[in-house]
Structure 1
Amino acid sequence: MANNFTTADDGVSDHVEYLCETDFPAITGPAFILIFIISVIGNGLLLCVLFMYENLKSVTNIFILNLACSDLIFTFTLPFWATDHLHHWVFGDFVCKFMTAAFFVGLYSSVILLTAMTVDRFITVVLHNWLSYVRRKKKYAVGACIAAWAISISASLHDAMKVKVENFDDVNYCEDSSSDRLGYYLQVSLLFFLPFAIIIFCYSAILKTVLRALNRKKHRTVAVLLCIVAAFFICWGPYHILLLIKSLYRPKGCKAQERLDIAYHICEILAYSHCCMNPLLYTLSQKLRKHLLKLLHCENVCRKNRERDMGLTSVSQKVTFTAQSSAVKLELHNLHGTALNSHS
């Protein structure tokens, strides 16, 4: 989250970490700005495609719409963390709490929505005879989305209350200064590792069922959703594991602290880049890719170019045909004139 997010037991150890600070934040700041730009463009285009060309009553599209909103909420916090990395915290205590809340709303809602989407696929593919779910599928999806937002907002408010602006050597830091280890482990377990276990179980059953079937369309749908879920855990997994390591391990000496900080910043960039990956993964769907091309007017431009080329071809053919006809007429006229002269 913040540049120097720590869960140390006392302020002295925090202060030692700041003295050992590396120059890696000079890279993470611009990286966050780049991720912000790509994510806003990608998720913005995705929302346009959904609203203009897709059926928003579809359960899959309901989840995709909510995921795009979740990614954008997370994305809008990135310029603040980029500034924090480059110049430390300059926005005050309220913005520190508000951005922390928005950060965790985006994170928690993403993992809950992905879990709900996976469970929906599991019931649809594996338990397809469960008629009571099929009849109320849309209601369950809407209910799952509402629950995801309610849980993520509640959990994020708890996180936001723990952060505050701390001053060390006349420099402000937006950080978590609490020592509530048990609450932190419980929250990470419930809102990251538990959903991960549920998703692994569901997709194991889904893949087993799908590989027996011969429906290619179903194969593609499951493959796209599997890529989306895999991307989330590949991006966020190392970050959460490293946060647990940081909360348990205290490096001795600046060299060890520097290695830990570099690993943390690399995992941080990987984790934050997830918000711009979903729009790229959705392009694996042929239908969404077609809608995106239509939105960007590429299809219209290509059609106009084809029509223009066809028009030019037809004109050239007409000119060639006219020239050939004129040549034939001229030759016939010359032959006729020669024949008249011979008779005379």
Structure 2
Amino acid sequence: MFPRIQRTMAFNNSTVNRGKNYCSEVFKLLFDLETFEIYSYILIFILSIIGNFLLLYVLFLYENLKNVTNLFVLNLACSDLMLTVTLPFWAVYLLQEWVFGHFACTFVIVTEIVGLYSSVILLTAMTVDRFITVVLHNMPRNKVRRQRFAALSCAAAWIISISVSIHVATRVTVEDWRGRSVCSIRTSYVDYDFNLAVSLLFFFLLSIIVFCYSAILKTVLQASNRRKHRTVVVVLCIVAAFIICLVPYNILDIIVSLKEPENCNALKREIIALSICQILAHSHCCMNPILYMLSEKWRKHLLDLFSCKKVRRVRDRKRTTDSSVKQNVAFKAQSSAVVLEPTCS
């Protein structure tokens, strides 16, 4: 959210230093885009909250959390929810100004960064796991070692993303800009170098994902039994959604870090691109639950949940258990009666 307003501030400050007028046309454009973004964030928030909590409920109710894929899905849902909880703050911010104070500004930006970058690392680890399972299936596999790799990958994802957010947190500020309270990040040449390094890390992880899935698709297309690899199709759709939603944002982030707009028209084009890319980036948090429904297994779980089959199965199991107990008690009582019955001489 903050790069667009921060970019306008930097441009206007530079124009003042050069003795030029403010780019007044930008402000009208900002207000027009803000209305569209507010409705977009509200819609994304509702879809993400419903989808991810439903996904977590189904995961805990039906699935084995020791399964490697389920462990990645669990952590990805948590990453998406972290990104989701920031959306109401940004919607209110667009509606008026930043009214939540410095601590909330730091919390929102840190939470957004942790959710965003943890999902990148988790998807990379998930893809590598699929690559080993599908492409290198002839290699001897150790279930315990695979679970350990998944657990370490999830821990690394959270540690790295939290470390990045701590670096950014020290530069968060709430300041007044043209009579409006703004939540932003103080920038310097060091920060631009840091942002560039983070973006390069993103594209390095993206190259790993593309390489692994190229090999996975080749292997799946050559396989005679494709039912075995249905999970791969779901994860592939997740990765594709990730690329569509987040790659444009990271490319634009590099451009913004390296190049300053030369005039108002260039700034207006940049602001429109930033607005679209930010909506796309935030929409990623509601994509994964929708894509999981492509899996036949997840659709069955969802249908069972809405039809209360799980509850009925528990009740039937309880009735069966109670019936068995009653039959056992009756059998024991009958046996006791036979034993206690007096014999006739």
User: Does structure 1 conserve the Cα–Cα contact (< 8 Å) formed by 2:11 and 2:261?
Assistant: no
Amino-acid identity (%): 56
Q: Distance in 1 between matches of 2:63 and 2:104?
A: 36
Q: Distance in 1 between matches of 2:152 and 2:226?
A: 30
Could you tell me which residue of structure 1 aligns to residue 84 of structure 2?
Answer: 75
Letter of the aligned partner of 2:75 in structure 1? N
User: Does structure 2 conserve the Cα–Cα contact (< 8 Å) formed by 1:60 and 1:117?
Assistant: yes
Could you tell me which residue of structure 1 aligns to residue 260 of structure 2?
Answer: 250
Gap runs ≥5 in structure 2? 17-21, 311-345
Letter of the aligned partner of 2:79 in structure 1? S
Gap runs ≥5 in structure 1? 301-344
| 2:293 paired residue among 271, 283, 295 | 283
Shift of 1:162: 1.7
Q: Does 1:183 align with 2:183?
A: no
The Cα offsets for residues 82-105 of structure 1, whole Å up to 9 and x where unpaired, read as 111221211111111111100000
Shift of 1:228: 0.3
User: Does structure 1 conserve the Cα–Cα contact (< 8 Å) formed by 2:71 and 2:150?
Assistant: yes
Q: Distance in 2 between matches of 1:242 and 1:169?
A: 26
Superposed CA RMSD in Å reads 2.2
Distance 1:295 1:13, change over 3 A: farther
User: SS of the counterpart of 1:6?
Assistant: helix
User: Does structure 1 conserve the Cα–Cα contact (< 8 Å) formed by 2:176 and 2:182?
Assistant: yes
Q: Distance in 1 between matches of 2:247 and 2:45?
A: 21
| 1:156 paired residue among 159, 165, 179 | 165
| 2:68 paired residue among 59, 73, 86 | 59
User: SS of the counterpart of 1:172?
Assistant: strand
Could you tell me which residue of structure 2 aligns to residue 212 of structure 1?
Answer: 222
The Cα offsets for residues 296-341 of structure 1, whole Å up to 9 and x where unpaired, read as 22769xxxxxxxxxxxxxxxxxxxxxxxxxxxxxxxxxxxxxxxxx
User: SS of the counterpart of 2:7?
Assistant: coil
**Structure ID, larger Rg:** 1
User: Does structure 2 conserve the Cα–Cα contact (< 8 Å) formed by 1:20 and 1:258?
Assistant: yes
Shift of 1:11: 7.1
Could you tell me which residue of structure 2 aligns to residue 124 of structure 1?
Answer: 133
How many residues get paired?
300
User: Does structure 1 conserve the Cα–Cα contact (< 8 Å) formed by 2:196 and 2:257?
Assistant: no
User: Does structure 1 conserve the Cα–Cα contact (< 8 Å) formed by 2:199 and 2:254?
Assistant: no
Q: Does 1:266 align with 2:276?
A: yes
Distance 1:132 1:217, change over 3 A: closer
User: Does structure 1 conserve the Cα–Cα contact (< 8 Å) formed by 2:12 and 2:23?
Assistant: no
User: SS of the counterpart of 1:167?
Assistant: strand
TM-score by length of 1: 0.82
Q: Distance in 1 between matches of 2:91 and 2:143?
A: 45
Q: Distance in 2 between matches of 1:58 and 1:50?
A: 11
TM-score by length of 2: 0.81
User: SS of the counterpart of 2:174?
Assistant: strand
Shift of 1:251: 2.4
Could you tell me which residue of structure 2 aligns to residue 322 of structure 1?
Answer: none
The Cα offsets for residues 107-139 of structure 1, whole Å up to 9 and x where unpaired, read as 011000000000001111112233255441111
Q: Does 1:293 align with 2:326?
A: no
User: SS of the counterpart of 1:136?
Assistant: helix
